[in-house]
Amino acid sequence: MSLIKSISGIRGTIGGKVDENLTPLDIVKFSAAFGTWLQTNKNKKNLTIVVGRDARISGKMVNSLVCATLQGLGINVIDLGLSTTPTVEIMVPELNADGGIILTASHNPKEWNALKLLNEKGEFINSENGADVLKLAEDESFSFAEVDDLGTYEERNDAFDIHIQQILNLPMVDVKAIKAKNYKIVLDAVNSTGGIAIPMLLEKLGCETIKLYCEPNGQFPHNPEPLKEHLGDICALVKSEKADLGIVVDPDVDRLALVDENGDLFGEEYTLVAVADYLLKNKKGVAISNLSSSRALRDIAKNHGSEYFASAVGEVNVVNLMKEKNAVIGGEGNGGIIYPDLHFGRDSLVGVALFLTHLAKENKSVSELRSSYPSYFMGKKKIQLTPEIDVDALLTKMEKEYQNEEVSTVDGVKIDFEKNWVHLRKSNTEPIIRIYTEAFSQEEADDLGDKMIEKIKSLV
């Protein structure tokens, strides 16, 4: 199976051998490393860490190990129990905690779990901090507390209420306008914590919720990544129930996909586009996404006299650029909405509230709203190379080949042509180049990818 250690945390499959899979010993070691790192870097006693988890089968076991390890270091633990990634992110500063740990493997299948690490702002720790935590885990240089100095343990069950109330208090969320529409909504929460949190939000917004896979038991009824090929059930149910729309979230509720009233997918890329359209219509500013996200966001920003910038791929990179540019809205093309007026993290709940506000104010159906945006199609390919080939040198050659076009080297090489684009990225784990394309048709996007593969082969 697998254990992946990275600067953003540790993830793997439950069971198996130590250091090869996510075993209890690995969980304890990594929790101790994060706690020790916080103790080393915080010049204070009585540190507090907030812990929350999605509904994975292994969640309770992992949670017990994490909380007990932190207490063993003398760190106080606030356990949110079943939660969402954005809820934990919000609760860290809300509770004046020193950090947070989210127990979720996001859209990975049920045998996976992970520890994701947050700083005192409720934001993912940066690469430098992550490297320090990995080094501590490797060295196992931990010093545990004596019996009179063990950390305290507290459970909180009000985190969803706090998170939702903060969303309802946002000036750009119009509760009255949404309530007036009496929306009928089908929700697929893949039997995780979105099945608790999203209905609570929708009830406050005066919507009727039809629940599909909303039992938080961790038994994912389909592949939990919210892609078209996994969402046939909700598309059919939206049509048969004559609902206004469908909402799909992943297990930790940081990715939001939508289904229109005809049972057709809105498109994950267009979740961010629609929310940005609403916000930039009301406030000129900056929109941010990553280099592999749709050009449609750039088009919408330009339509509203606003600016658009692209970051390297990765949520931390998007957030850093949003802060630098003081962005109004940002996110990723996988349905990740980052609304800085609430917090700097992908958040499906605030995405739902902002989208429904936009839908209500436009007085359109979901399909009508979607048809008002430029239609782009994306292609994803890869080219396998032999290990001895210098991939960086190859990408530099590609940059020179297209130097007369608009080229970005922030993250690999992205070439913006007039009517389409291609993004070439080196894999960190194998000798391949990933090739992302976007055009006005699927055929054109795929053809562009094939042409780039031929060009790369000619330069090898």
Q: Can you tell me the distance from the alpha carbon of 460 to that of 394, in angstroms, rounded to the nearest whole number?
A: 7
Q: What is the pLDDT of residue 307?
A: 97
Q: What distance, in Å, lies between the first and last C-alpha atoms of the chain?
A: 34
Classify each residue of 401-429 as buried b or exposed e, where b means 16 or more C-beta atoms within 10 Å of its C-beta.
Answer: bbeeeeebeebbbbbbeeebbbbbbbeee
Please state at what angle helix 24-41 crosses helix 59-72, rounded to 10 degrees. 40
Q: How confident is the model at residue 1 (pLDDT cuts 50, 70, 90)?
A: low
Q: What is the pLDDT of residues 373-400, one digit of tens each?
A: 999 999 989 998 888 888 899 999 999 9
Q: What is the pLDDT of residue 75?
A: 98
- pLDDT greater than 80 at residue 428: no
Write the CA distances from 340 to 96, 209, 217, integer angstroms.
Answer: 19, 27, 32
pLDDT of 445 above 80: yes
The partner residues of 331 in beta bridges, in order of sequence, read 337
Report the percentage of the chain scoring pLDDT > 90: 90
Q: Using N-to-C axis directions, what is the helix angle for 194-204 and 159-168, rounded to 10°?
A: 40
Name the pLDDT band for 120 (thresholds 50, 70, 90). very high
Average pLDDT for the chain:
95
Instruction: Give the residue-averaged pLDDT of 397-418.
Output: 94
| Low-confidence winner among 104-108, 214-218, 342-346 (lowest mean pLDDT) | 104-108
- Out of 8, 31, 106, 293, the active site residue is 106
In sequence order, which residues have a C-beta less than 8 Å from that of residue 240 and are 6 or more positions away?
none
What the chain holds in terms of domains, given with CATH numbers, is 3-156 (3.40.120.10), 162-372 (3.40.120.10), 377-458 (3.30.310.50)
Residue 56, pLDDT above cutoff 70: yes
Q: What is the pLDDT of residues 340-383, one digit of tens each?
A: 999 999 999 999 999 999 999 999 999 999 999 999 999 989 99
Average the pLDDT over 322-330 and give the result: 98
Return the HEC string of the chain: CCEEEECCEEEEEECCCECCEECHHHHHHHHHHHHHHHHHHCCCCCCEEEEEECCCCCHHHHHHHHHHHHHHCCCEEEEEEECCHHHHHHHHHHCCCCEEEEECCCCCCCCEEEEEEECCCCCECCHHHHHHHHHHHHHCCCCCCCHHHCCCEEECCCHHHHHHHHHHCCCCCCHHHHHHHCCEEEEECCCCCHHHHHHHHHHHCCCEEEEECCCCCCCCCCCCCCCHHHCHHHHHHHHHCCCCEEEEECCCCCCEEEECCCCCECCHHHHHHHHHHHHHHHCCCEEEEECCCCCHHHHHHHHCCCEEEEECCCHHHHHHHHHHHCCCEEEECCCEEECCCCCCCECHHHHHHHHHHHHHHHCCCHHHHHHCCCCCEEEEEEEECCCCCCHHHHHHHHHHHCCCCEEECCCCEEEECCCCEEEEEECCCCCEEEEEEEECCHHHHHHHHHHHHHHHHHHC
C-beta atoms surrounding 206 within 10 Å = 15
Higher pLDDT, 118 or 389: 118
Bridge partner residues of 13 (DSSP)? 112
The whole-number pLDDT of residue 314 equals 87
pLDDT of amino acid 43: 79
Strand order in the sheet with 307-311: 307-311, 286-290, 329-332, 336-338
Q: Decide if 106 is catalytic.
A: yes
Task: Report yes or no: 48 and 308 within 8 Å, Cβ to Cβ.
Answer: no
Contact 357, 424 (CB under 8 A): no
- Please, are residues 394 and 459 in contact by the beta-carbon 8 Å criterion? yes
In residues, how long is the chain? 460
**CA separation for the pair 30, 134 (Å, rounded):** 8
More confident residue, 278 or 229: 278
Q: How many CB atoms lie within 10 A of CB 371?
A: 11
CA-based nearest residue to 66, from 192, 153, 157, 191: 153
Give the model confidence (pLDDT) of 261-311 as tens digits. Answer: 999 999 989 999 999 999 999 999 999 999 999 999 999 999 999 999 999
pLDDT above 90 (res 460): no
Burial class (CB in 10 A: 0-12, 13-18, 19+), 141: exposed
Residue 102: name the closest of 28, 190, 19, 8 by CA: 8
Distance CA 64, CA 27 (A): 10
Model confidence at 429, in pLDDT bands (50, 70, 90)? low
Query: Looking at the predicted structure, is the pLDDT value of residue 221 above 70?
Result: yes
Structure tokens at 69: 């390890």
pTM, full prediction: 0.94
The answer, yes or no, to whether residue 18 has pLDDT greater than 80, is: yes
At 2 the pLDDT is 76
CB 127 within 8 A of CB 117: no
